[in-house]
């Protein structure tokens, strides 16, 4: 059985936070954010987390973060930036393919069928911020 991976989004008017979660292992594989969406000085940061499997030695590096200036002007452009971060810095979305995209609700709950909470997942969203969720599903080919 392959791992169940979920991409969790938290959108506000000018930022998008995201986390790629391995639901079965309760691990955040990567997380990041795109800030100042729509402005000339937008920025993206992306952190990859490393884990040892049972019986393996602990990794020397536990996480690595990359940041850069980006140009974004809408939900589809933001999701292309996010996907580019995974392509360039990992983990590979071909190897860690999300089976679903979820959005954090206004009260810190995840809009999905599961009620499991994951520490470290972004915990706020702007009311009505559903368009990044739809854009993510579209860009990932889930709709």
- Give pLDDT tens digits for 36-90: 988 889 999 999 999 988 898 988 888 999 999 998 887 788 888 999 999 999 9
| Tokens standing for residue 76 | 């589809």
Residue 22: partners with Cβ closer than 8 Å, 6 or more residues away: 3, 4, 5, 28, 29, 96
With tokens 């589809």, the residue in question is 76
How far is the C-alpha of 16 from the C-alpha of 27, rounded, in Å?
20
> Between 139 and 95, where is the model more confident?
95
From the CB of residue 36, how many other CB atoms can be counted at a distance below 10 Å? Answer: 14
- Give pLDDT tens digits for 90-127: 999 988 889 888 887 655 444 444 434 444 444 444 44
User: Which residues, listed in sequence order, are joined to residue 8 by a DSSP beta bridge?
Assistant: 19, 102
In degrees and rounded to multiples of 5, residue 139 shows phi and psi of -65, -35
pTM of the model as a whole: 0.78
Residue 77: partners with Cβ closer than 8 Å, 6 or more residues away: 71
- Give pLDDT tens digits for 68-80: 999 888 778 888 8
Q: In terms of residues, how long is the chain? A: 143
């Amino acid at each position: 059985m392959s791992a169940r991976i979920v991409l969790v989004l938290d959108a506000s008017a000018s930022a998008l936070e995201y986390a790629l979660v391995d639901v079965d292992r309760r691990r955040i594989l990567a997380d990041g954010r795109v800030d100042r969406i729509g402005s000339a000085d937008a920025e993206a940061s992306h952190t990859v987390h490393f884990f040892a499997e049972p019986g393996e030695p602990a990794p020397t590096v536990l996480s690595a973060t990359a940041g850069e200036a980006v140009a974004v002007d809408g939900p589809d452009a933001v999701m292309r930036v996010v996907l580019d971060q995974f392509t360039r810095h990992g983990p590979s979305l071909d190897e860690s393919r999300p089976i679903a995209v979820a959005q954090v609700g206004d009260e810190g709950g995840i809009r999905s069928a599961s009620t499991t909470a994951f520490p470290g997942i972004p915990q706020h969203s702007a009311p009505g911020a559903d368009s990044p969720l739809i854009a993510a599903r579209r860009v990932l080919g889930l709709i």
